[in-house]
Amino acid sequence: MAEMLQRPDTAFVAKAGQASLHGTSLSFNRVVTDSRAAGADCLFVCLSGERVDGHDFLPPARAAGCRAFLVAEAWFRRHGGGFSADDAVVVATDTLACLQSAAKAWRLLCQTAATASGHGLLKVGITGSSGKTTVKEMVAAILLDWKPGVKNPGNLNSDIGLAASLFLLRPEHQVAIFEMGINRPGEMDLLAGLFEPDCALITNIGSAHIGVLGGSRQAIAAAKKRICAYFTGSQLLLVHEEDDFREYLMRDVAGRVACFGPRSLAGFSGATSLGLAGWELQYNGSTIRLQLPGAHNLLNALAAIGLAAACQAPEASIRRGLESVSALSGRSEVLQAAGLTIVNDCYNANTDSMGRAMALCDEVPCQGRRLYVLGAMKELGDFSTEAHHQLGQAA
């Protein structure tokens, strides 16, 4: 029976996604949409986009050992004869809609099982214009030191990535930490419906994706605030104490609201910069060594501590978790090569994140030359020329 499942299987996906199952039912550990990540333990989902059709990559997925597939009905009518008797094929009218419906159903099943076991499932959602992934990694390091649970890998935070990540949940999990990113109006309502966070954190309201999120920071704030769309009174929203949109974000939320930051965090008494080596934070009389440099990462750490403290995580987990976090590839990553110090912050490009990367380099003593290698910033719409000009002036 579905309620007894310890891992998702294709029969569950077909039933929850209002699709049909051809062949046997197979369980899987993870969901992938890229055949290069496929393997024997995964469900390969075929998505059709403007330039790429995922069905074209079924052969390499099968060659990698995958035997569970989610395909479109229209494609299956034309090409479905190529599967073997050992394959499990879920056939849906819309593969993405099927994936999302099944992902929500799986989350609800795990949540119900956690409640029945007496420990419950704490769901933490993190969004914002920048810093989402770093804060998610910090929060996850703390909470997963405290309780068994799951986080979404990397930045799988979109309507596709979040849905796929939800299948990593298991009935025994007690915490789930998921990053929720958007690049179009209305997308946050979908993500919030899939996950329904108990605790939400908005890192900041900047200009990332301004060209596709309504053309103003006010529109971005409104879109990000929809992370609270499914709040019913007991949930918590955390926002930055100095954000320009703090009052707007905290207004008319159907739950509790609080701020994070140096003034808002009880027990925080200061921090000492170690340059590119990171920070030493003083929290409740103890020293926490943060490996990530830059004022923005100090604020990210304070956000993570504030959220963890609000969730009643023990101080030992807060310290161990934060001290275990190292730089992610392309995010405040410090490299040494041939007498050069390289700060690799190339993962994302928007006015806010690039400005913070430059500020970090400016803070570090340098006896030689400082070189900034800057790329183009996209999805800025009518603000593109002005944003690039401002960044050039700052450099």
- List the CATH number of the domain containing 364: 3.90.190.20
- 201 with 223, same domain: the answer is yes
pTM of the predicted structure, to 2 decimals: 0.88
At residue 1 the predicted structure's pLDDT band, cuts being 50, 70 and 90, is: very low
- 154 with 35, same domain: the answer is no
- 163 with 245, same domain: the answer is yes
Predicted confidence at residue 377, as pLDDT, reads: 66
Average pLDDT over every residue of 46-53: 93
Predicted confidence at residue 65, as pLDDT, reads: 97
- 318 with 337, same domain: the answer is no
Average pLDDT over every residue of 137-162: 96
- 372 with 289, same domain: the answer is no
Instruction: Identify whether 38 is part of a domain.
Output: yes
Tell me how far apart the alpha carbons of residues 324 and 51 are, in angstroms, rounded to a whole number: 40
**In this predicted model, what pLDDT tens digit does every residue of 89-143 receive, in sequence order?**
999 999 999 999 999 999 999 999 999 999 999 999 999 999 999 999 999 999 9
Query: What count of other Cβ atoms lies within 10 Å of the Cβ of residue 238?
Result: 25
Q: What is the CATH number of the domain that holds 311?
A: 3.40.1190.10
pLDDT of residue 317 exceeding 50? yes
pLDDT of residue 10 exceeding 90? yes
Predicted confidence at residue 379, as pLDDT, reads: 58
Closest-CA residue to 302 (of 266, 265, 257, 273)? 265
For the chain, the distance separating the N- and C-terminal CA atoms, rounded to the nearest angstrom, is 61
Tell me how far apart the alpha carbons of residues 154 and 385 are, in angstroms, rounded to a whole number: 31
Q: Are strands 340-344 and 333-337 parallel, antiparallel or unpaired?
A: antiparallel
Predicted confidence at residue 383, as pLDDT, reads: 62
Give burial (CB, 10 Å; 0-12/13-18/19+) of 7.
middle
Of all residues in the chain, the percent with pLDDT exceeding 70 is: 88
- 140 with 233, same domain: the answer is yes
- 319 with 338, same domain: the answer is no
pLDDT of residue 229 exceeding 80? yes
pLDDT of residue 380 exceeding 70? no
Predicted confidence at residue 35, as pLDDT, reads: 97
Average pLDDT over every residue of 41-60: 96
Closest-CA residue to 184 (of 387, 391, 381, 355)? 381
Query: What count of other Cβ atoms lies within 10 Å of the Cβ of residue 323?
Result: 16
At residue 2 the predicted structure's pLDDT band, cuts being 50, 70 and 90, is: very low
pLDDT of residue 327 exceeding 60? yes
- 146 with 228, same domain: the answer is yes
Q: Are strands 286-290 and 279-283 parallel, antiparallel or unpaired?
A: antiparallel
Tell me how far apart the alpha carbons of residues 159 and 157 are, in angstroms, rounded to a whole number: 7
At residue 392 the predicted structure's pLDDT band, cuts being 50, 70 and 90, is: low
For the sheet containing 268-273, what is the strand order? 268-273, 279-283, 286-290
Predicted confidence at residue 369, as pLDDT, reads: 76
- 337 with 382, same domain: the answer is yes
Structural domain total, the chain: 3
Predicted confidence at residue 349, as pLDDT, reads: 65
- 50 with 149, same domain: the answer is no
74: domain range?
2-97
